[in-house]
Chains A and B, each alone.
Chain A
Amino acid sequence: MPHSEEEHLTGQQAGRITYTLESSLDSVNKVEQTAEQLAKKAGVDEDEIFRISMAVREAAVNAVLHGNSYDPDKRITASFENTGSALVIKITDQGRGLDPATLPDPLAPENLLRGSGRGIFLIRSFMDEVHFRQLHPGTELTLIKHLGTAQTGS
């Protein structure tokens, strides 16, 4: 076993919490639950909590499955921040990198019956901003949900 730790809280500064996690479904579930708590704490409504936590789950699935391919030697990081005006979630992997321009459109008729390929589409549908950054190696996804003026966070 090259690594014994299951998870590691790698940073907590200025309201930003960062976890480094192994490439597993347990990590996906933990990231999803943390996003759900962040959204709840920010006071967004139930539907938005669902959308945010699902988008973040999909990003974590991408990192674990498509990025790191469940490689036990590779880690994902997940960071969560409520800036007061937005929720900012960043997920990184150590995989080969992802070029979003090459992803097939899951709504195209010829792709509609495919058994996969809807993750990034759902993330984009549910968040206000989605940014990709190449890390060489790996990919960083930044997911942003703007908070309304009435929602100033906690």
Chain B
Amino acid sequence: MSIKLTARQVDGVTILDLSGRITLGEGSVQLRDAVRDLLSKGQKYILLNLGDVNYIDSSGIGELVSAYTTVRNQGGELKLLNLTKKVHDLLQITKLYTVFDVKDDEASAIASYSRA
């Protein structure tokens, strides 16, 4: 009941490839720790690839929101890539779809960061 997380760098943006379930407990904590870790290393342009995340609960949604605000408060940008239909629908009904910058193509997502 947890997620797999892999980080890679592309043109100054850190892409976190996630797979599994982001739910209360381990999944949410792993995501939180990973984002904190990146910020502590000064990597504040973050793209969360959720293409293999097939399940997220209210705790996971909350964690995405917290990650978004934490990164933004540090002058960075956090965007979402490749939402599955379930995650897309959940962000729609919670009215978060317009809060997040959601991308469906990695290259154009990378190009969209401001990188001051």
B102 within 8 A of A: no
* Min CB–CB distance A9 → chain B (angstroms): 23
Q: How far is the CA of A52 from the CA of B2 in the complex (A)?
A: 21
* Min CB–CB distance A65 → chain B (angstroms): 7
The dominant DSSP class at the B interface is: helix
Contact A25 B24 (CB under 8 A): yes
Interface of chain B residues 18 through 77 with chain A (CB within 8 A): 23-25, 57-59, 61-63, 65-66, 68-69
- Which of A57, A113, A114, A115 is most buried by chain B, counting CB atoms within 10 A of its CB? A115
Contact A118 B24 (CB under 8 A): no
B93 within 8 A of A: yes
Interface band, chain B: 20 to 34
Looking across the interface, which residue of chain A has its beta carbon closest to that of B25?
Answer: A25
B8 within 8 A of A: no
User: Given that A29-B1, A54-B57, A58-B57 are contacting pairs, would A107 and B95 also be in contact in the complex, using a CB cutoff of 8 Å?
Assistant: yes
CB contacts (< 8 Å) of A122 on chain B: these are 58, 90, 93-94
Looking across the interface, which residue of chain A has its beta carbon closest to that of B24?
Answer: A61
User: Given that A107-B94, A112-B96, A112-B99 are contacting pairs, would A118 and B25 also be in contact in the complex, using a CB cutoff of 8 Å?
Assistant: no
Task: Count contacts on A: residues with CB < 8 A to the other chain.
Answer: 22
B86 within 8 A of A: yes
* Min CB–CB distance B23 → chain A (angstroms): 8
* Min CB–CB distance A112 → chain B (angstroms): 6
Interface of chain B residues 62 through 116 with chain A (CB within 8 A): 62-63, 65-66, 68-69, 86, 90, 93-96, 99
User: Given that A115-B65, A116-B59, A119-B58 are contacting pairs, would A50 and B94 also be in contact in the complex, using a CB cutoff of 8 Å?
Assistant: no
Looking across the interface, which residue of chain B has its beta carbon closest to that of A123?
Answer: B58
The 8 A-B residue pairs with the shortest CB-CB distance, nearest first, are A115-B66, A118-B58, A115-B62, A119-B58, A116-B62, A25-B25, A107-B95, A125-B93
Please list the residues of chain A having a beta carbon within 8 angstroms of any beta carbon in chain B: 25, 28-29, 50, 54, 57-58, 61, 65, 106-107, 112-119, 121-122, 125
Please list the residues of chain B having a beta carbon within 8 angstroms of any beta carbon in chain A: 1, 23-25, 57-59, 61-63, 65-66, 68-69, 86, 90, 93-96, 99
